[in-house]
């Protein structure tokens, strides 16, 4: 076991299942996370976690380290230390971060009655809770650009969110405003520049808005969801920003005793299953 493996093992031991939003699962030899649980939280294989802790895996990628940092609830200083131990350059302040602080991750874990997702400054989805996946679709099946909310809006004709022309226009203007602010804050981020270039060349609607001095902001709005099993229902959507970061939390709620509230409760039971 090398220093990276020892450190990962120690950090895994200090995170309880309860703190990670997982059931305790009976008797445990140690109070911390099992390897299988860390693998689940980070989206990695158990075998890979074992090889990392035993020092048998060389140079884990930035994506892997970011996922481990999130799953282990690391502070900024601890995350940077993890990158150094793994032989990677510390996350640059000049690029958009996909890091979710432990306090924000706790919100994701604990707000299980409301569908929600967390996006970075470019509106690429970093994580979501199970109810969001049940309502919108499983993001683990969305490769590359398809995890970007703006890209999906233009590229996906079969999305489950149904918009009126007015809602579509308002959404597009707000997203262009957000992206312009992110480009101003991260002028040297190559992924952000590539995203904007691809949207401008691929979609005339986006290009026209980008080249106009339009400004819009996110407000509480209603969204109609067309679910393949439960049909259509309407929920409220709020975009919350995290102080001191560029993270956006997109939270969907339904009025008490409404049809939408009943359908969200049913979704929490059936998850990603089909009823047919």
Once rounded to an integer, what is the mean pLDDT over residues 163-185?
91
User: Chain-wide mean pLDDT for the chain?
Assistant: 87
Query: HEC string of the chain?
Result: CCHHHHHHHHHHHHCCCCCCCCCCCCCCCCCCCCHHHHHHHHCCCHHHHHHHHCCCCCCCCHHHHHHHHHHCCCCHHHHHHHHHHCCCCCCCCCCCCCCCCHHHHHHHHHCCCCCEEEECCCCEEEEECHHHHHHHCCHHHCCHHHHEHHHHHHHCCCCCEECCHHHHHHHHHHHHHHHHHHHHHCCCCHHHHHHHHHHHHHCHHHHHHHCCCCCCCCCCEEEEEEECCCEEEEEEEEEEECCCCCCEEEEEECCCCCHHHHHHHHHHHHCCCCCC
For the chain, which domains are there? 3-85 (1.10.260.40), 102-270 (3.30.450.180)
Asked whether the beta carbons of 249 and 116 are under 8 A apart, the reply is yes
Q: Which is nearest to 261 in space by CA: 251, 274, 270, 252?
A: 252
What is the per-residue pLDDT across 24-40, written as a single tens digit (0 to 9) for each?
666 777 778 888 988 88
pLDDT of residue 238: 94
* Residue 208 confidence (pLDDT) above 70: yes
C-alpha radius of gyration, the chain, whole number = 20
pLDDT (tens digit, 9 = 90+) per residue, 81-121? 888 888 876 665 678 888 888 788 888 888 888 999 999 99
268 Cβ contact partners less than 8 Å away, ≥ 6 residues apart: 112, 113, 130, 131, 134
Per-residue pLDDT at 198 exceeds 60: yes
- Check if the beta carbon of residue 74 is closer than 8 Å to that of residue 102: yes
- Checking DSSP bridges between strand 221-227 and strand 231-241, what pairing results, if any? antiparallel
Question: Do residues 199 and 150 lie in contact, with contact meaning Cβ atoms separated by under 8 Å?
Answer: yes
Average confidence (pLDDT) over 61-85: 84
Q: Which pLDDT value is given to residue 91?
A: 62
The residues with which 225 forms a beta bridge, in sequence order, are 161, 233
In this predicted structure, the answer to whether residue 209 has a pLDDT above a threshold of 90 is yes
Which residues lie closer than 8 Å to 161 by C-beta, 6 or more apart?
136, 223, 224, 225, 226
Please write the tens of the pLDDT for every residue from 53-63. 888 877 788 88
User: For residue range 4-25, what is the model confidence (pLDDT) as tens digits?
Assistant: 888 999 999 888 887 777 776 6
């Amino acid at each position: 076991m090398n220093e990276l493996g020892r450190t990962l093992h120690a950090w895994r031991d200090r995170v309880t299942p309860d703190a990670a939003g997982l059931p305790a699962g009976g008797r445990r030899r140690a109070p911390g996370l099992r390897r299988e649980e860390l693998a689940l939280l980070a989206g990695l294989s158990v075998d890979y976690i074992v090889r990392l802790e035993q020092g048998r895996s060389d140079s884990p990628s930035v994506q892997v380290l970011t996922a481990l940092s999130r799953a282990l609830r690391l502070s900024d200083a601890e995350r940077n230390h993890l990158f150094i131990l793994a032989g990677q350059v510390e996350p640059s302040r000049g690029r958009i971060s996909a890091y979710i602080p432990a306090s924000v991750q706790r919100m994701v874990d604990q707000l299980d009655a409301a569908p929600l997702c967390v996006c970075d400054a470019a509106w690429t989805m970093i994580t979501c809770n199970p109810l969001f996946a049940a309502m919108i679709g499983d993001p683990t099946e969305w490769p590359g650009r398809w995890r970007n909310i703006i890209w999906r809006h233009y590229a996906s004709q079969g999305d489950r969110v149904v918009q009126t022309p007015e809602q579509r226009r308002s959404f597009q203007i707000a997203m262009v405003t957000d992206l312009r602010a992110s480009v101003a804050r991260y002028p040297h981020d190559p992924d952000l520049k590539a995203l904007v270039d691809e949207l401008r060349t691929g979609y005339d609607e986006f290009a026209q808005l980008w080249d106009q001095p339009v400004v819009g902001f996110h407000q509480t709005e209603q969204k109609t969801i067309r679910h393949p099993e439960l049909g259509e229902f309407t929920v409220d959507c709020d975009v919350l920003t995290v102080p001191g970061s560029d993270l956006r939390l997109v939270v969907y709620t339904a009025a008490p005793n409404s049809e939408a509230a009943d359908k969200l409760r049913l979704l929490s039971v059936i998850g990603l299953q089909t009823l047919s």
